[in-house]
Amino acid sequence: MEKENFKIVFLYTELAGYTLSCLNHLSITGAEIMVFRYPVNKEAPFQFKENSKINFFDRKNLTQPEIIKMISEFKAQIIVCSGWIDKEYVKICRHFKKLNVKTVLCLDNQWRFSVKQLLAVMASPFLIKPGFKFAWVPGKSQRKFVSKLGIKKENIFEGFYCADTVSWTLMFDKFSSSKENKFPRKFIYIGRYYEFKGLEELWKAFSDFSAEFPDWELWCLGTGDLVPAEHPKIKHFGFVQPADLEKFVGETGVFVLPSRFEPWGVVVHEMVAAGFPLILSNEVGARETFLQEGENGFVFEKENVQQLTGIFRKMALKTDKELLQMGTKSNELSQKITLSSWVETISKMINV
C-alpha cells in the first residue's frame, strides 16, 4: 500500500463500526487522522476498539473556537464533514475553506424533490455551499442531490460508505465449503426494530411463506421499539456486536432488508461481501451498486407483503447450487467499493 503523509480531519456525528474500519485502513498508509465525534448511539451500542494512530475527540466537550484552534494547530489538508446537522461543523468548514483547506460534504440522502430538500437547495448558496469544495456520497442516487446544492459535478465522488470488505470476504471464504455441503435454510435480517425498517411486512410475509415452506427460518438481529413477532420459525437475537456476527453468517443463507426508508444501507455491502443472496425493498439505496436482479437477488416494492412472500418462495425453490452461485456473484459485486478505493478517493480529492 502506497504511503501517504497527508493530515485529515473528520467531523462526524455517529461513528459506526464500518467507519472505524475505513479509518484504520487509512491509518495504515501513514496519514495523520483527527476525528471529532458524538457519543455512541444508544440504539446501536457498538463497542469500538480505537486505534492509537487516530486521535479521537468528544464533540460535546468542545466549542467551535476550540475545534478551529485544534484543527489549525494540526495543519489539516482536508476536512471531511458528515452532513450539516451540526451547524457549527459547517461553520468550521467554511472557515477553513477560506484558508484553502480542502473541505468535503458527506451525505446519504437520495434526491426526492421534498419540501425539506427544496429549502436546502434554496439555502445552499448562503449556508451550505460556501463551506464545501467537494462532496462524497454513497452512490448515484445521492449525487443528484449534492449537485443541486451547487457542488460542481467534477468535485462529486461516490463510495463514501464502505464496509470492512476484507473481514467480510474472509467470512465468505471461511463458510463457503460448509454451505456447499448444506445451504442454510435461513433468512437473516440485521438492523433496528422500527416501523420504517419494514419489519411488520417482513414478519407477515414470512409467516405466510412459512405455511408452505416450514423448513425455512427467519433470524432477526437488532433492537428497537417494535415488539418482536412471535412465530415458531422466527428467532430474535437482540443487538449483536459486529465481532460476534461471524456465527450468524455461517449459519444463515439469504439476507433480507425490507425497509420503507433506507437511503443506503452499509449492511447490504457487508452481506454481499460475505456471499449472501439478497432480498431488498426498492427503497434500499445500496441496491443500485450491489444487487443485479435475478443474478444475486431480487427487489420488491416496499410494504408489498404479497410480493415479498413471492420472492421468499422464489428463493426457497432454488437449488443449493443456484443459491451458492448467487452468493458468489454477491461477493464479486462487493468489490465495487473497497477499503482501498475509499482511501484512494481521499487521495484524489487532496491532489485535485
| Residue 284 confidence (pLDDT) | 98
Summarize pLDDT for 155-194 with one digit per residue, the tens: 999 999 999 999 999 999 999 999 999 999 999 999 999 9
CB 342 within 8 A of CB 159: yes
| Residue 47 confidence (pLDDT) | 61
Residues 168 and 172: their CA atoms lie apart, in Å, by 6
Is domain 7-162+338-351 in CATH 3.40.50.920, yes or no?
A: no
| Residue 1 confidence (pLDDT) | 47
Residues 343 and 307: their CA atoms lie apart, in Å, by 39
CB 228 within 8 A of CB 222: no
- Average pLDDT over every residue of 186-206: 98
| Residue 346 confidence (pLDDT) | 97
CB 166 within 8 A of CB 129: no
Q: What is the CATH number of domain 165-334?
A: 3.40.50.2000
| Cα separation values, 166 from 28, 173, 190, 269, 275, Å | 14, 11, 19, 12, 13
Which residue in this structure is represented by grid cell 408452505?
Answer: 212
| Residue 15 confidence (pLDDT) | 85
Residues 282 and 260: their CA atoms lie apart, in Å, by 8
Q: Quick check: helix, strand or coil at residue 19?
A: helix
pLDDT exceeds cutoff 70 at 48: no
Of the candidates 262, 312, 272, 274, the one whose C-alpha atom is nearest the C-alpha of residue 295 is: 272
pLDDT band at 217 (very low <50, low <70, confident <90, very high): very high
Domain boundaries of the chain, sorted by first residue: 7-162+338-351, 165-334
Which residue in this structure is represented by grid cell 456473484?
Answer: 329
| Residue 45 confidence (pLDDT) | 58
Q: Is the dihedral of CA 188, 191, 196, 200 positive or negative?
A: positive
- Average pLDDT over every residue of 39-61: 76
> Which pairing describes strands 297-300 and 278-281: parallel, antiparallel, or unpaired?
parallel
Percent over 70 (pLDDT), the chain = 96
| Cα separation values, 288 from 111, 277, 278, Å | 14, 15, 12
pLDDT exceeds cutoff 60 at 204: yes
> Which pairing describes strands 234-236 and 217-221: parallel, antiparallel, or unpaired?
parallel
Dig out the grid coordinates for 299 from the structure: 427487489
Summarize pLDDT for 130-161 with one digit per residue, the tens: 999 999 999 999 999 999 999 999 999 999 99
Of the candidates 202, 281, 212, the one whose C-alpha atom is nearest the C-alpha of residue 234 is: 202
pLDDT exceeds cutoff 90 at 342: yes
| Domains 7-162+338-351 and 165-334 agree in fold | yes
Summarize pLDDT for 67-82 with one digit per residue, the tens: 999 999 999 999 999 9
Cα torsion 103, 138, 261, 305 to 10°: value is: 180
pLDDT band at 4 (very low <50, low <70, confident <90, very high): low
- Sheet hosting strand 32-37, strand order edge to edge: 54-58, 32-37, 7-11, 78-82, 102-106, 134-137, 156-158
Average pLDDT of the residues of the chain: 95
Dig out the grid coordinates for 45 from the structure: 451500542
Dig out the grid coordinates for 342 from the structure: 475509499
DSSP H or E segment with residue 87: helix 87-97
**Phi-psi domain of 122 (left: phi exceeds 0; alpha: psi -120 through 50; beta: other):** alpha
Which residue in this structure is represented by grid cell 412459512?
Answer: 210
Residues 319 and 315: their CA atoms lie apart, in Å, by 9
Which residue in this structure is represented by grid cell 461553520?
Answer: 91
pTM of this prediction exceeds 0.75: yes
- Average pLDDT over every residue of 301-317: 99
- Average pLDDT over every residue of 118-122: 96
- Average pLDDT over every residue of 47-56: 77
The interaxial angle of helices 320-334 and 165-181, nearest 10 deg, is: 170
